[in-house]
Amino acid sequence: FAGLADVSISEDIPVEGEITVPVGSRSPDEDFSTLDEPVRDTILRDLKAVGKKFVHVMYPKKSSALLRDWDLWGPLVLCVSLALMLQGGSADSKDDGGPQFAEVFVVIWFGAVVITLNSKLLGGTISFFQSLCVLGYCILPLTVAMLVCRLVLLAGSGTISFIIRLLVVVAMFAWSTLASTAFLADSQPPNRKALVVYPIFLFYFVISWMILTFTPQ
């Protein structure tokens, strides 16, 4: 505002007119005018975006949809459902049991934040929330694995059920790691890729371990 310091309007010039923005320069958002649409449309639009990202995770191709329009709804839904499904593990005392809801939540979100910070400190060009978004969405295969494990445990908990669960969890763990690496690897400096991928591997390994060692009441 320094340039306007010496602008003054002399008192005998009448100031009049309309202070409106010309119609032609409306931004695209205003065309949407989401205030007037039915609530169902608003919710469905977000749900479709989340669903589209789920599909991108299950069939990881190099697409920028996951990165460009990041959102954290999907990761939240996945994290909450995974934490809920990990409940009900039994123990004689509270100290020996599986992770509680808060512990799963903290492990997932704190782990994702630490990995994002790690990749940014190593010189990655991805933004903070984009990375959180990718890491959260790539938990989807593991959530599917948890669902399958719970169903298999309903049928029985012998050796065969353990082998099935082991195979499913290992496959989903590999899928998660590969999917997130496919999305995140490009934004890292080339001679540090392994340094960035390893913590992601560790993160999904810990989650897979929590899923595999779940024993119901």
Partner 1 sequence: ITCLVTYSFAEFDDAANLLAANPDATTISIDEPAEIPKNQRDRLQEPGREEDDELLGTDDSDKTELLAGQKKSAPFWTFEYYQTFFDVDTYQVLDRIKGSVFPVPGKNFVRLYIRSNPDLYGPFWICATLVFTIAVSGNLSNFFIHLGKPTYRYVPEFRKVSIAATTIYAYAWLVPLALWGFLMWRNSKVMNIVSYSFLEIVCVYGYSLFIYIPTAILWIIPQKVVRWVLMIFSLCLSGSVLVMTFWPAVRDDNRRIALATVGTVVLLHALLSVGCLAYFFDAPEVDFPAPLIPPHNGTTVVTRSR
What residues make contact with partner 1 under the rule CB under 8 A? 89-92, 94-99, 103, 118, 120-123, 191-195, 198-199, 202, 205-206, 209-210, 213-215
Distance, C-alpha 134 to centroid of its chain = 5
Which ranges of 37-158 would DSSP assign to H, the alpha helix?
39-58, 65-68, 73-85, 101-121, 128-137, 140-155
127 Cβ partners below 8 Å, 6+ apart?
Answer: 70
Q: Give least dist CB 36 to partner 1, A.
A: 42
Report the C-alpha gap between 26 and 163 in whole angstroms. 60
Q: Give least dist CB 99 to partner 1, A.
A: 4
Query: In the complex with partner 1, which residue's Cβ is closer, 54 or 162?
Result: 162
Query: In the complex with partner 1, which residue's Cβ is closer, 124 or 136?
Result: 124
Chain length of the chain:
217
Query: In the complex with partner 1, which residue's Cβ is closer, 64 or 213?
Result: 213
Query: In the complex with partner 1, which residue's Cβ is closer, 20 or 93?
Result: 93
Query: In the complex with partner 1, which residue's Cβ is closer, 60 or 89?
Result: 89
Residue 54 neighbours by CB distance under 10 Å = 16
Report the C-alpha gap between 25 and 163 in whole angstroms. 63
Beta bridge partners of 89: 216
Q: Are 73 and 50 in contact (CB under 8 A)?
A: yes
Q: Residue 89 phi/psi, 5° resolution? A: -75, 145
What are the Cα distances from residue 8, in Å, to 3, 4, 92, 112?
12, 8, 81, 55
Query: In the complex with partner 1, which residue's Cβ is closer, 34 or 90?
Result: 90
Q: Give least dist CB 167 to partner 1, A.
A: 18
Q: Give least dist CB 133 to partner 1, A.
A: 20
Q: Give least dist CB 116 to partner 1, A.
A: 13
Q: Give least dist CB 35 to partner 1, A.
A: 38
